[in-house]
A and B are shown apart, each in its own frame.
Chain A
Amino acid sequence: MTAVAHTTELSIETTGLSKRFGRQLAVDGIDLAVPTGSVFGFLGPNGSGKTTTIRLMLGLSAATAGSVRLLGREMPRHLHEVLPRVGALVEGPAFYPFLSGAANLHRFDAADPHVPAATRKARVRDALDRVGLSHAADKKVRAYSLGMKQRLGIANALLAPRELLVLDEPTNGLDPQGTREVRSLVRSLAEDGVTVFVSSHLLAEVEQICTHAAIMSAGRLVAQGTLAELRQAGQARLRVLTPDAGAAAQVLVGLGLTVDGATPAGRSRPTGDGPARDASGSDGDVLYAPLRAGSGDGGVPPEAVVAALVAAGVRVRGFATEQVSLEERFVALTGEGFDVVQ
């Protein structure tokens, strides 16, 4: 986990934030630091505690332990001062199906006692305009598609000038065109100086629009920082292509490296735990080993690894040091596939 320098001003700051439901710890002591002015991607697979964290941040549910500061004020104690400056889309849009889109926005705007009623009509019109829903303003929400509801939800978050936007899965249900529109909307908001906190399970989305990101897994915050920091934090690793996988693994372990896994050449990336030994590929196996460069304990220079391999009689057919991509890091941190955390 990369610590964000606390000298920068933070729009969201949580300290040891935890939430327990019965015996399950849904959010487990997370320390989020969202710098003001950033577009912050909140990544994690389904069920990793993203939405619960957002509920805690917005004062919808009470933390079991820890604290939240939003825009510099303690939550939920200063909820009434903070929330008017925050626009939110929480766990998907929700509306009164029997009211029109515009009437729904009027309703939510009326719920906020801090905004002037006189400008309500104009603000609702502008918000609808901004998400491209002006043509459907008078249509009952019952007749809206999921994508239209999603846009209306974003319009609701934009009803008043905000300093912070919390968008939970804002592109859910949107077609590619809508996804692009949301991305450009987020960018234009960020240009206006709004801090945007976007939760998503889609890495690509985060990579495209965010300046910062944090990764959740099973209720814990496993990484956070700028995108560049996150990419770097993913340790560089060795990639060794060799027919003598077993011998190579021994050498690597002997050098104090851990072998992540071996795959027959041609497959993209290690999938299993522990080295696979069957040399089925014609070129041999690919072995991966993280290089602990810069992590304190000296690390092993790559050239020394090659020398050691060759000295041990390992036939090295390929050797490289490579940087872990953000996606691989994401998968490494959160587990692969559709495993929803229990």
Chain B
Amino acid sequence: MSSETPGASAAAPAADAPATPPGKPSGGPRAVRRTWGGGLFASELGVLFRRRRTWAMLGTLAAIPILIAVAVRVSSAVPAGRGPAFLDRITQNGLFVGVTAMLVSVPLFLPLTVGVVAGDTVAGEAGLGTLRYLLVAPAGRVRLLLVKYGGAAVFAVVAPLVVALVGAGIGASLFPVGPVTLLSGDAIGAGEALLRLLLIAAYLAVSLLGLSAIGLFMSTLTDVPVGAMASTVVLSVVSQVLDALPQLEWLHPWLFSHYWLDFADLLRQPVAWDSFATNAVLQAGYVAVFGALAYGRFVTKDVLS
């Protein structure tokens, strides 16, 4: 994965910035956080965030902006146009550490961690044997599936958020923080810039919801969590490879990873919501399709683990 490509694709839509009025952020990460499931959902989050593995993955994600910031700090000035997009801006404004780190973690690190969590959802319980005890509790298969997806979705929200916030934090402590010049040429204050940073994190969270649904489905197919995790991560790589092949251009808008890097629109004034909306619709489609597949598989599955 070339670090130039994301920069180029992020800059491309800047030329024809359509000043559309801000649309409704359809769905959004909060849509899956329903209270339905109650105690089980709280318990699910408890189990997820009491695992050392979860913290190791979040720690790894947090290390990305730290590495970037320290590397830029200790090295000489980065020549403009080299390295990942926004890298050269870091020395002028520390908040760009967050943006750069998110950009860097999109192709592999975020899908990897989300793939692990989503692939583990059902298969992990089956592997431990706890699935049968949840089902005879009785948790209810549909309820359990929704709670499991909800847990994976929360992780999909938390993961980019960690990168953004740690990036902003380390950036602010190592570099000056000031007004940010947007792609549209307008300058915004640091406070609003932080808001934009969170907006990008939200964009990535939405981007990862489709992958989470794929992981959930994979997870219902096997009792071996590693298998479900690996196939989910591999699918995210395959999707990105297909997206890079110009011969398959007709397929590109249907790939779940197609809009992953198109968050540059969020760095305009006013915010162009088109790509956010397009991405959200695509992800919702993936959630619907793979959610239905997971449902179809899990509701009739013989739990023999």
The chain A residues found within 8 Å of chain B, CB to CB, are 55, 58-62, 79-80, 83-84, 86, 88, 90-92, 94-99, 103, 106-113, 117, 156
Contact between chains at B136 and A86 (CB < 8 Å): yes
Can you list 13 A-B pairs with a CB-CB distance of less than 8 A? A55-B303, A55-B304, A60-B132, A62-B300, A79-B138, A83-B138, A88-B136, A90-B133, A94-B129, A108-B137, A109-B137, A113-B39, A156-B133
Could you say which residues of chain B place their CB within 8 Å of the CB of A103? 46, 50
Q: A112 touches which one: B50, B51, B139, B300 (CB < 8 A)?
A: B139
Could you say which residues of chain B place their CB within 8 Å of the CB of A99? 47, 50
Given A60-B303, A110-B39, A113-B38, A80 contacting B138 (CB threshold 8 A): yes
Could you say which residues of chain B place their CB within 8 Å of the CB of A97? 128
Residue B52, interface by CB 8 Å: yes
Docked complex Cα distance between A99 and B130 (Å): 12
The chain B residues found within 8 Å of chain A, CB to CB, are 38-40, 42-43, 46-47, 50-52, 128-130, 132-140, 143-144, 300, 302-304
Docked complex Cα distance between A61 and B303 (Å): 6
| Smallest Cβ-Cβ distance to A79: which chain B residue | B138
Contact between chains at B303 and A108 (CB < 8 Å): no
A115 to nearest B CB, angstroms? 9
Contact between chains at A112 and B137 (CB < 8 Å): yes
Contact between chains at A61 and B302 (CB < 8 Å): yes
Could you say which residues of chain B place their CB within 8 Å of the CB of A88? 133, 136
Contact between chains at A83 and B136 (CB < 8 Å): yes
A201 to nearest B CB, angstroms? 19
Contact between chains at B130 and A62 (CB < 8 Å): no
Docked complex Cα distance between A77 and B37 (Å): 21
Contact between chains at B138 and A112 (CB < 8 Å): yes
Contact between chains at A60 and B138 (CB < 8 Å): no
| Smallest Cβ-Cβ distance to B147: which chain A residue | A111
Could you say which residues of chain A place their CB within 8 Å of the CB of B300? 62
Could you say which residues of chain B place their CB within 8 Å of the CB of A79? 138
Give the 9 A-B residue pairs with the shortest CB-CB distance, closest first: A94-B129, A61-B302, A111-B137, A110-B43, A111-B139, A83-B138, A110-B39, A112-B137, A60-B303
Most buried by B among A80, A97, A111: A111
Most buried by A among B39, B128, B139, B304: B39
Q: A108 touches which one: B38, B50, B134, B143 (CB < 8 A)?
A: B134
| Smallest Cβ-Cβ distance to A82: which chain B residue | B138
